[in-house]
Structure 1
Amino acid sequence: MSWKIKLHLSSLVFLCFSSFSLLMFSVWFLSSNIVNVIEWEFICLNSCSIVVSFIFDWMSLMFLSFVFFISAMVLFYSGDYMLGDLNFNRFMYLVLCFVASMGALIISPNLISILLGWDGLGLVSYALVIYYSNEKSANAGMLTVLSNRVGDVAILLSIALMFNMGGWNFFNYTSYMGDSSLGTILKFLIVLAAMTKSAQIPFSAWLPAAMAAPTPVSSLVHSSTLVTAGVYLLIRFSAAFNNSSVQSFLLIISCLTMFMAGLGANFEYDLKKIIALSTLSQLGVMISILSLGFADLAFFHLLSHALFKALLFMCAGVIIHNVKEYQDIRCMGGMVEFMPITSMCMNLANLALCGMPFLAGFYSKDMILEVAFMSEINFISFILFALATGLTVCYTFRLIYYSLSGSFNLGGLSVIADNSTVMTNPMVGLSVGAIVGGCFLSWLIFPEPYMICMGVEFKMLPLLVSGLGGFIGYMTNIMSVNFKLKSLFLYKSVVVMGSMWFMPFLSTFGLNLSSLKSSQMFMKSGDGGWSEFYGGQGIYSFVSSGSSYFQVFQDNSVKIFMKIFMIWLIILFFII
């Protein structure tokens, strides 16, 4: 047995066993209300201890269990997807480092130790996005890492501000972060870090660009690791946000993000980017309900969403593999006749994403919408919630029409079939999670049900909006196939709605071009100009010339002393 196969199998066994064990421990901790904290003092500075902390409660253990389970399925799936890759070992090590970084972030209640996992996610995600060495991957990786560096700086500034509180264990200080100026700045920095990691407006451009990574990486990133790190950080800090101005800011940003992502997905033709935009929309749903004060609901949706989103990316990867590596959904169609297992799993994931009753997404999304409609939200947020729900069903049915049903649009081909059990077996395993995961989590996290008090029209609104969105999505795309040139009359509107409101342009050409020009000017006039003249080079030339004079004096030359003696005589003569 080769080293590659040994590494693959040992990683799978370890992750599966760890996932099951952690799930059992999380259920025990949840029922017994147990929280274990382990601290290791690294250094003490001015009575402020730098401590590496680990917290083991039901939330961290359950999230870690889901991360390990999805990672095991992704690695199993990668055994065939990355089979022809020459650097399979490097890919395995990168994925395992990625999972380890997410695990360090999950179990860290301390900003010092959480920075290890936070920066590890950013670094390894960059290495995975540029895994395919080409110009597109390099550009996407640079956009990803620069966007995430903003959040890293926010975490570093938060560490500096929390120094005044006497420690960095935010579990001890979240209740003391009031509306003082220091507490408000600290909360906005945490929100900024979460917005960059979870790709909220205006940092949304890197999420679709990160699709340059291999599909197994996309399945892991968009389900339970990188993009959920910001939401998890906000959940941990949720006690500090109650009744503060940060909640209103988060609500507006998250509602705009989920509406923008749903709108853009209806005009996108790249299969992976459509699913990435759906992830962006669901992240907006999580953060919006968290901003209303329901952190447990946000965590519930985070876990249920991870199951069917990983499944959706795996199905997309199998389809892309079979249609000659095309990602344009217009080159697909009729896949249900050739790939029944993949089509079944993909439809299951799509219906769970739409919130079909009794699937995983229904239990979390339906409760989120009902609680949001009962809360004191403004009319704009209410409209954005309803529109985002309809747009989700709309782009989902559009995706089903173009890829699974409809007419077969691929040209010459060899074989399209579900002939790889290595890729279909983990999909079936995640399909079970997409079916029963929602009710299982609902019974665990909410043993006492929420009290929902609302009118019939509000209760029926999600169902009405979803049905209307699915009908519009399917009929519009049937009409667009028959009347292709009609969209040219609305070209400008389509460009605005389908371009994520020009955010990729602003994040790359617009912002970076102006910042690079200004930085070049500052470098020429500052660092390479006056600063260099009066700074390093100026001091160097002054010290060098002065040392040469002192060297002459130290040579004890008679001529020098005679010249100095004559100068002193002349000075004394004029003085007298």
Structure 2
Amino acid sequence: MCLISFINLIILSFFLFILSINFLLMNYTMFIEWEIVSLNSMSVVMTFLFDWMSLMFMSFVLLISSLVIYYSKEYMSSDVNINRFIILVLMFVFSMMMLIISPNLISILLGWDGLGLVSYCLVIYFQNVKSYNAGMLTALSNRIGDVALLLAIAWMLNYGSWNYIFYLEFMYNNFEMLLIGGLIMLAAMTKSAQIPFSSWLPAAMAAPTPVSALVHSSTLVTAGVYLLIRFNFLLVDSIWGQFLLLFSGLTMFMAGLGANFEFDLKKIIALSTLSQLGLMMSILSMGFYKLAFFHLLTHALFKALLFMCAGAIIHNMNNSQDIRFMGGLVNHMPLTSSCLNVANLALCGMPFLAGFYSKDLILEIVSLSNINLFSFFLYFFSTGLTVCYSFRLVFYTMTGELNCSSLNMLNDEGWIMLKGMMGLLMMSIIGGSILNWLIFPIPAMICLPWYLKFLTLFVCIIGGLIGYFMSNVNLYFMNKSLDKYSLINFLGSMWYMPYLSTYGIIFYPLNVGVLVMKSFDQGWSEYFGAQKLYQNLTMYSQLNQVIQNNNLKIYLLTFIFWIMILLGLSFMIL
């Protein structure tokens, strides 16, 4: 089943990519409307939107998911129910397709909720307490956004149709824009894990690594960014755009800081995803939706590769994810290490790799834009932190001596996994330049003073040096970090957001739910409702049964009762 799915998806991916280039060059947009049911004046219509953006994103999602499924053939080979896993992944991809091609909020909700439900099933795939908790946090955090989307759907009843794509120009700069824009932004912030909904993203690492590669590159977390790209009109020159710029900048900064204090390999990569999502959201909030889309695609390529490399390393390390137990992997796993290093350099924005074209362009546009000093600082400092944790990761895992048990058999012989990684390695090297020429065929003139032009490079070099020094920590610095333990605990635990989310989204709401159920559902409403009715009916039924037993005493008592009533009435008349 793995091979059949892989072949079908990759053929479809190439077909859609060729089609997207054709649509882009010819400036085509295709609407397909399918009337499901028509009753009097009401019609339920399923609408699909095919333009260069949706087709290109679909081709990338299918390419990555095909390689992930092929990679899973070996990674999940010991799983008895591997076909069930592949079906879940395919359902996940189908939900994403629904979301991408829908210009209609109702059909978007189908894909949106499909992603939420299937992601819950995939996070709890390894059935243990930690996975269940992570799955519950993921599902309940995303429900907040689902409610916001439902409210936006309810408000759009005012327009007579849910095809928002027709109303974006009309909605611009009025009250509806503020309301619907705010609700859509809230939905996107929960799905793309912006502050204060960030804690579910590292928790979702409980899922199998191929799922992490898919979720963090092109599906679940990018759904929010893609939705806002479609609604980009509502962010330009509005209060929501400024609000999103602040929160996405803080998310980028917080994730970058947290990754520098993390020792779990998958969580470091998860926090790097969070940082890049913050970058996409922040540039989108400034109105550059094409740049956000460009970075979305390039990021998908190298992030999927990063997770695949991490999976291969974890497999070889007997399922250990702690980078302190790694070291010298470049000697034992040269091919995997090369892929990891290329993906890491692409993430850092190394010139002429995939990440460079989008990140460098974003930072130069930011330098050219009229934004405040705080946002400018967040952009560049977060870029430095990205290079810092990437270099720290490389020095911990690749250099020095192996720190784990000598019984570990480290090798590069997972050929199926390596073939899956090779496809993405090529795309991580050439993908950025291809997309750059396609999406921005006419070069933009960005005229900056030399110190702003070199600032990106300078920040990257400083970040890399700090990452190198952090990985070669001596005893003096370790004691210093212990001295500032409370600060490091605060920075390393995502600013205590997991505690707030766990208590605020899971613990207290569920406890309140139990109390409400006990006092209302199983309390007052039972006592004055069904149970009281049941008791009364039982009592009257028993009385009726006694009367129907034809007992002489009852007839005598009834006769005396009626005589007394008649006597009473006669006395009252007299």
Aligned ranges for residues 55-134 of structure 1 at < 5 Å? 55-134=49-128
Q: Which residue of 1 aligns with 2:6?
A: 12
Provide the rounded CA distance (Å) in 2 between the counterparts of 1:533 and 1:256: 51
Superimposed CA distance per residue, residues 296-319 of structure 1 (whole angstroms, 9 cap, x where no aligned partner)? 110000000000000000111111
Tell me, in whole angstroms, the C-alpha distance in 1 between the residues paired with 2:568 and 2:238. 77
- Per-residue Cα deviation, 1:443-492 (whole angstroms, up to 9, x for no partner): 11111222313222221111111111110111122124775333211111
Distance 1:447 1:137 in 2: 46
Provide the residue aligned with 2:263 in structure 1. 269
Q: 1:52 aligns with which of 40, 46, 51?
A: 46
Aligned residue type for 1:290? L
| 1:168 aligned partner | 162
Bigger shift: residues 433-442 or 512-521? 512-521
Q: Identify the residue that residue 396 of structure 2 maps to in structure 1.
A: 402
Query: Aligned match of 1:245 in 239, 243, 246?
Result: 239
CA shift in 2, pair 1:537/1:74, >3 Å: same
- How has the CA–CA distance of structure 1 residues 55 and 563 changed in structure 2, closer, same or farther, with 3 Å as cutoff? farther
For residues 417-453 of structure 1, what are the alpha-carbon distances to aligned partners after superposition, in whole Å with 9 as ceiling and x for unaligned? 2112111112111111011101100111111222313
- Structure-2 separation of matches of 1:46 and 1:188: 34
Q: CA deviation at 1:373?
A: 2.1
Q: Which amino acid aligns with 2:510?
A: L
Q: Provide the aligned C-alpha RMSD in A.
A: 2.4
Q: Tell me: CA distance 1:423–1:265, structure 2 relative to 1, closer, same or farther (3 Å).
A: same
How far does residue 277 in structure 1 lie from its aligned partner after superposition? 0.2
**2:310: which partner in 1?**
316
Q: What is the alpha-carbon distance in structure 2 between the residues aligned to residue 29 and residue 420 of structure 1?
A: 39
Q: How is 1:318-357 mapped onto 2 (pairs within 5 angstroms)?
A: 318-357=312-351
Match of 2:282 in 1: 288
Match of 2:45, SS state, is strand
Letter paired with 2:351: P
Q: Secondary structure at the match of 2:494?
A: coil
1:361 aligns with 2:345: no
Change (3 A) 1:259 1:572: same
What is the rounded CA distance, in whole Å, between the counterparts of 1:329 and 1:481 in structure 2? 18
2:507 to 513, 521, 542: 513
Offset of residue 71 of structure 1: 0.8
Q: Deviation per CA, 1:476-516, whole angstroms, max 9, x where unpaired? A: 22124775333211111110110000011111135533333
Letter in 2 for 1:130: I
Q: How does 1:176-325 map to 2 (within 5 A)?
A: 176-325=170-319
- Of 527-536 and 209-218, more deviation after overlay is shown by 527-536
How far has the Cα of 1:57 moved from its partner? 0.8
Could you tell me how far apart the structure 2 residues matched to 1:556 and 1:77 are?
83
Distance 1:192 1:574 in 2: 79
Distance 2:339 2:283 in 1: 28
1:213-272 deviation digits (Å, cap 9, x = unpaired): 111111011000111011111111112222211101111110000000000000000000
- Contact 1:334–1:407 at 8 Å: present in 2 too? yes
Task: Return the letter of the residue paired with 1:100.
Answer: F
Over residues 74-117 of structure 1, what are the superposed CA-to-partner deviations in whole Å (9 max), with x where a residue is unaligned? 11111111111111111111111111111111111111111111
> Does the residue aligned with 2:484 lie in a helix, a strand or coil?
helix
Query: Is the 1:50–1:112 contact (alpha carbons within 8 Å) kept by the matching residues of 2?
Result: no
Unmatched 5+ stretches in structure 2:
none
Aligned to 1:499: 493
- Partner of 1:209: helix, strand, or coil? helix
Partner AA of 1:58 in structure 2:
W
1:187 and 1:425 map into 2 onto residues whose CA distance is: 43
Instruction: Note the C-alpha offset of 1:522.
Output: 2.7
Q: Which consecutive residues of structure 1, in runs of 5 or more, have no partner in the other structure?
A: 1-6
Q: CA deviation at 1:20?
A: 0.4
Q: Percent same amino acid among aligned pairs?
A: 58
How do 1:513-532 and structure 2 match up within 5 A? Answer: 513-532=507-526
Output the CA distance in 1 between the equivalents of 2:558 and 2:414: 94
Among 420, 430, 433, the residue aligned to 2:427 = 433
Query: What pairs with 1:409-420 in structure 2 (closer than 5 Å)?
Result: 409-420=403-414
Does structure 2 conserve the Cα–Cα contact (< 8 Å) formed by 1:300 and 1:364? yes
Q: 1:371 aligns with which of 365, 373, 377?
A: 365
Counterpart pick for 1:476 among 470, 474, 495? 470
Cα 1:154–1:538 shift into 2, 3 Å:
farther
Residue 150 of structure 2: aligned partner: 156
**Alpha-carbon distance between aligned partners in 2 of 1:567 and 1:532, rounded to the nearest angstrom:** 40
In the other structure, the counterpart of 2:36 is 42
Q: Is the 8 A contact 2:137 2:505 kept in 1?
A: no
Provide Cα deviations, 1:181-225, integer angstroms capped at 9, x if missing partner: 443222111111111111111111111011111111110110001
- The aligned amino acid for 2:13 is S
How far apart are the structure 2 equivalents of 1:571 and 1:30?
A: 99
What TM-score results when the alignment is normalised by the length of structure 1? 0.93
Change in Cα spacing, 1:300 to 1:555, as seen in structure 2 (3 Å) is farther
SS in 2 for 1:408: coil
Write the deviation string for residues 23-48 of structure 1: whole angstroms up to 9, x where unpaired. 00000011111111112233458955
- Structure 2-normalised TM-score? 0.94
Letter in 2 for 1:176: F
Q: Which residue of 2 aligns with 1:3?
A: none
Q: Does the 8 Å contact 1:148/1:197 carry over to 2? A: yes
Corresponding residue of 1:139: 133
Tell me by how many angstroms 1:569 deviates: 4.3
C-alpha deviation, 1:49, in angstroms = 3.7
Q: 3-state DSSP class of the match of 1:501? A: helix
SS at match of 2:473: helix
Residues in 2 aligned to 1:58 and 1:570: alpha-carbon distance in whole angstroms: 97
The letter of the residue matching 1:479 is V
Contact 1:323-1:413 within 8 A present in 2 as well: no
- The whole-number CA distance in structure 2 between the counterparts of 1:563 and 1:524 is 48
Cα distance in 2 for residues equivalent to 1:481 and 1:440: 47
Instruction: Determine the structure 1 residue equivalent to 2:445.
Output: 451
Offset of residue 564 of structure 1: 9.1
- Secondary structure class of the residue paired with 2:487: helix
| Kept in 2: contact 1:131–1:214 (CA 8 A) | yes
Of 194-203 and 40-49, deviating more is: 40-49
Residues 534 and 218 of structure 1: is their aligned pair in 2 closer, same or farther, counting only changes over 3 Å?
Answer: same
The separation in 1 between residues aligned to 2:445 and 2:561, in whole angstroms, is: 99
2: CA distance between counterparts of 1:550 and 1:375?
86
Distance in 2 between residues matched to 1:217 and 1:575, nearest whole Å: 89
